[in-house]
Amino acid sequence: MGKKKTSILFIILSVLLAASVSFSQNTPATEDKSSDSGDAKAPGVKPVEANEYFQYSATKAAMYDDGVTLYANALVKYELTAIDNALADKSYYNVKVVNTSNGEVEYSAPFELHDEGKTTVEYYSVDKIGNKEQKKQYGVTVDNTAPTSKVKTDKPIYEADGKYYVSPNHLFSVNTADTSSGVGKVEYATDGQNYQEYTKAFNIADTSEATLKIRSTDNVLNVTDNFFFINSKEKTEVELAGSTIALTIDNTAPEIAIIPDKEIESRDGKNIVLEDYKYTISATDEGSGLAKIFYRLDKAEAWEPYVKPIELSIYGEHRIEAMAVDNVGNTSVPISLHVFVDVVPPTAETTADK
């Protein structure tokens, strides 16, 4: 009789114990983003809205803990598991995003958190006779936004006829920022497909055409190929938003020549000219185009912009140097012309035979 009373008492105590619920998240490495924007069994879960440039683009569930904050993307699924000694019945949860409640929902299946920002999930369970456990909380910051990358060059890029010209000496730097989970990895490709990790400024050489792409990933695997291309020109910044920039690589300097307006006579190894000679400097460039022509005379160290034909009126030896620069900074090797200006008229003598 004593044993029977003890058994009944144990059953009654077990039933009276409140149910307990545990909270877990599921982040399968191979889970792809579902085409269904919400879970019909979990009211309060809303689809993520894309902004103009950066899409909700995590390809698989991921979480990241920086030691202070736990981050997750919108593909992470959260699971409630109720444990009761006898009669576990139902579980409930309420999602609060930045102090805004979506309302209490009865748990029926794993759910996702799509609203971006600091999120608190309150949850509890109830057994079949109405015992209700104390509410628990789970905190996570939902990050759906990929990083923002800006590409800049150390020299202005020249735009003409819908093309963007650079030289092999242009250095490209990538500045990437992420306001939530932080930047995970930045990659770039100059052929539009073969990516390599970005670690320092780079140039593009050994090709005439390039397709620049940037891929930025944050710490919860939100990824984007979109970036801003900033062209510093005339102290203003022109932003070119997109996922690809086609570049034409100009690695050829202009061709240049010094052309006198009259034929030069050579005598005793010297180019003899008169003071009325004029010297035109001509340059051509088949790539980005000619930007400027410079010249200097005799022993001058500074280069002067060329604007009109050069005239020399002082008697003696002279040197004309010239060089040209194209629109992406390729500079020609200086050329020179040495002339001797003869301003002394000949002396005629008359002699008579006796």
Sequence ranges of the domains in the chain? 13-142, 148-249, 255-341
Read off the tokens for 207: 């090709």
From the options 2.60.40, 1.10.287, 2.30.30, 2.60.120, give the CATH code of 148-249. 2.60.40
Residue 308 DSSP code: S
Nearest 5°: CA angle at 25, between 21 and 27? 160
Q: What is the pLDDT of residue 8?
A: 30
Q: What is the pLDDT of residue 294?
A: 98
In this predicted structure, the answer to whether residue 172 has a pLDDT above a threshold of 90 is: yes
pLDDT tens-digit map of 202-247: 999 889 999 999 999 999 999 999 898 887 665 556 666 678 999 9
Q: Does domain 255-341 match CATH 2.60.40.10?
A: yes
Reported pTM: 0.74
pLDDT tens-digit map of 7-65: 332 222 222 333 455 667 665 433 333 333 333 233 333 334 444 444 467 888 999 99
CB atoms within 10 A of CB 4: 8
Q: What is the pLDDT of residue 29?
A: 38
Percent of the residues in the chain that have a pLDDT greater than 90, as a whole number:
55
Residue 79's contacts (CB-CB under 8 Å, 6 or more residues apart) are: 23, 24, 25, 26, 110
pLDDT tens-digit map of 294-316: 999 999 999 999 999 999 999 99
- CA dist 59 and 222 (Å) reads 7
Q: What is the pLDDT of residue 351?
A: 72
Q: What is the pLDDT of residue 182?
A: 97
